Structure 1
Amino acid sequence: NSAQAHELLHWLRAFAEPRRLDLIRTALATPALALSHDRLEAFNADEMVLGEILEQFEGYQTHWQRNGLFATLRLFLNDYAVPARLLAAGDERGLTDILHLGEILQAASMQLDGEHALIRQYEQMLLSAEEEQDHLNMRLESDANLVQVVTVHKSKGLEYPLVFLPFGTSLRSMMDEKDFVRYHNKMRVWENHFNPTDEQRQAADHERLAEDLRKLYVALTRAKYGMWVGAPATKFWTQSALGYALGAKDQDSGEISRYLHTLAEADHIEVISEPEASDTSYTPVGQLELGEPLRANIELQQNWWIASYSRIQYEAKTLSDIDDASTEKRVEEADEESSKADVEVQLAGYHAFIKGAGPGDFLHNILEWCCNQGFNEVMQQPQRLKEEIEKRCEAKNSADYNPALITQWIEALLSTPFQLPNKSQTSLMSLAKAKAEMEFWFEAKDLDVQRLDQLVNELAPSRLARPAVKELHFNGMLKGFIDLSFEHEGRYYVLDYKSTFLGNDDSAYTLTAMEAKTVEKRYDLQYIIYTLALHRYLGSRLPDYDYEVHIGGAMVMFLRGVNGENAGIYCDRPPKKLIEQMDRLFSGVEL
């Protein structure tokens, strides 16, 4: 019933519901993280920081679902340098308690269905902590000598001193399936086949082999000190993941020893024959002491990471005495605060809605809900929209969230026509095909972000001066979420919502003002990257894809300017040459 136990509960709740800002705020404010007031305030005031934190906690949720709780907890602790901080403060016991609780919950999760079931059980454990005190204080070392039987899948993210994989050449070949097979086609879409042909069984077996190889990698990387792999020459061992890794051919079905002895030429690998069966019973011996683990002779550097657009930072350009983006942000906030009293008298309607990252996320979530329900369907059921907004405003428990004003605002955003880059018009409620929060991932091979910015300035020049990006290299995966993607008259578009405040009334939202803010905040680079994501996606989906034919362009929707020029929409269509050059740049090709 320690403080760490209750802090862990706050972390688990935030992992499980990464869109709940209140849960994330509570998790970040826990003493173990020891975040400064400035960092916590940035979460409330800076939209970029908020987006980055939300993506981070969404990553923890995905990591939990794929790799288990304990692996996710360790990732979280390392991200926020908790072990180093606790050890430096002499609180080794606190760190041990956190890890021990993580082990207990990892074991419990194998018997439960989903994150929330585990959280409920953990809450009950805390409530009954007095009765269970002896159990909760058990040290991890008490289980060190127990044999744990787990599947390869359940072992993901865990580590064991010694590991035995008894059936290293086992497999379930799809070539024997007569009635049904299932596999992904070249478009990464599931195909189901009844009474499959030999070619279809071969495709399914190829996918089975790929999955077996992934599981073999997991199994071979769980051991800390030693690993035993059973490798019998079963009938089809050459088709197993281990057989594939050894480079065996089908005609070598009886020659596994040759491959194993070749493998054993490497240091620290030994081939041991199967012992003869006997009637001798096992007799436990005294406690064995493990030797020192092997240590790498070279320093391994992992220059590979997952990043989002929000990781890019820019040089300050507006004031000569500003030398970093965070300083510029504080100056902007100070300016707004100093004139707050005057502004409150002048503002009305949508312009009076509170500013900040939290309110902006609130509006984004409502528009995402409208898209998922269908923009036109929402407009046809005004009472349903009214009730949904009232429920969300009530949850905020603040007079700043006026449900009548927000309902009127959302209806205006859905129904007001706006102009597209090709001068045709549409409205959100007129869209038949739209997708909210489309997620994208693509590889960035040692991408120089300053070179990317240079390319944008060369091929899509602006009449306004763009803030330059700071030095940064991406090497890994670039991910993101596009607020809205839609199709209109055969062309595809990306649209990004912005709650940015430009002025006191509708007249402030002119095309000139919206262009200036887009350049100042570098929304242009953001939607150009989104266009690249859409370009790659359509290229993999449309057999006759042509950028000039299918890409309509990109838009920034300034929500407060819905009654202003072009309904608050600033639109652009990045040149085809820019997108193609960016595609090559992200792929690591020299331009």
Structure 2
Amino acid sequence: LDAAGDGVLDELGALVREAAHRFADAGLAAAFDLLSARTRVESRLLSGVGGERRLTALRHPGQLLHRVAAEGSLGASALVGWLSDRVQDPDAGAGGERSRRLDSDAAAVQVLTVHASKGLEFPIVYVPYGWDGATWSTPSTLRLHAGSERVLDVGGPTGPDWKAHAATAAAEDAGEELRLLYVALTRAQCQVVAWWAPSKPTASAPLHRLLFGRTEGDPEPAATVKVPDDVPALTRLTAWGWPAEIAVEQVASVTPLRWTPPVRELPALAAAGFDRGLDTAWRRTSYSALTAAAHEPPPASGSEPEAPDKTDEPTAEPSVARVVAAGPPSLMNGLPAGAAFGTLVHEVLEQVDTAAVDLPAELLTRTREAVRRRLAAVDPVALADALLAVLRTPLGIHASTTLADVAPGDRLAELDFELPLAGGDDVRGEVLLSGIADLLRRHLPSDDALAPYADLLATLDVPPLRGYLSGSIDAVLRVAGPRYVVVDYKTNRLARGELTASHFSREAMAAEMLRAHYPLQALLYAVALHRYLRWRQPDYDPERHLGGVRYLFVRGMVGPSTPAGCGVFDWHPPAALVLAVSDLLAAS
């Protein structure tokens, strides 16, 4: 290179750049072929002594590098490092990839069909299956010649001339087998080895017919020849082969080899001992499971969250006697009660598009779909009318804001959450509901409608909590500010008989909130929203962004004519209370 001048160096640089582009586009094998062709590597190496060996030694690492690059998506620098590691460490990648390859397969044993061997010669030829004349017993088609024409008979055994055609085809096949045997036997330059064995298909085999079927004056052996016994056959072959210097050897029986695995001393088996302690108090729970303890034994420990069905809806008629209350009648008086009906209402309110041009038609469509899907015995028209009134009832947010005024983009429906209790998987203590009661006493003013709940919560017989608390908030509304409001839909009946909106006064709703332990639910939902906003709301400030909770008692929501304070129970737990409960649940 030093003596070649700048021109050669420029050409070499251009070739290297072209090879680099080829490597990036098509891989290392393409770059290797480009360099080999441009530099005439093959012709230059093969022109010298041992060139084939050296060319093989050059191709071998090229093929390995191409495989490594393709499997590992390696670039040029990584391939240089891989090759350097193999050169520096003889044991790196030990195995077949480092074995030296043959420079030529001329000395290798080749397994070929007779057809593929036509025109070729080999020093030694083995013909192992010349004794086997097995054919299809009942062919579905026949190929034969009729004069100078080729015939394909597809008529089957019941077709005309089938037997005659079958005989002709068999004779032609027998002749073809002899010609193929001739090709096989004449491929050898020095020695040919053939096997003969007595078996059922041997009678029509070409080698058997050639050895035992020829008679004087008849160059064409019969299509089938009787197979002699072993001793006469050996005598005949020996006598026939000796003058022609053909060796006849009897194949000795060989006991097949069987692989025997090495004997290993197996250790004595022993049942593993379970010595890890189980925390039987760790569980996944929910608001419904916690408050069920007021009437039932604590739920069994489990590792799965509670079922997603709405379990905070009443399942029976209220115990409150019939109370006459003036006011607009409830639009749900003719509709059923219970958890199944509550789930149906939740589903419709979750899916309705409040931005629809024709909101009544949209609501009726969603109601019909939900009723049909749940096979509910509910009049969809009556339910749609009642829910339209719910959507148009003021929520006590910014004067006359209603659910219908909140765009779908500002309503997050069914916000699922899972809160770690006392560290979750990494337990670091325990959570006591009595601690929440203490926080309620500390943060709620005495005139708060739900202040008495602290004493009621303290009576719940709930064991210490460790694990996870799961739940789903019916809806989170984003209103001006922005402020975020927790919304929960309730289908509770607060009295027996025909209801009016006045049955759902603030005092009646507060009593129901206390009776059903809804303040606990509201606090847990507020904590879940607080933790969600910590991640999602820029410059999050609980005092500014938490907008309280709204419990919508839908049976008392009759539209714009709903009396003030009826149907919608609003509660604004102090932000400090929400933060304190969040810390308590986290045991921090």
TM-score for the superposition, normalised by structure 1: 0.45
Q: Which has the larger radius of gyration?
A: 2
| Larger relative helix fraction | 1
**TM-score, reference length from structure 2:** 0.45
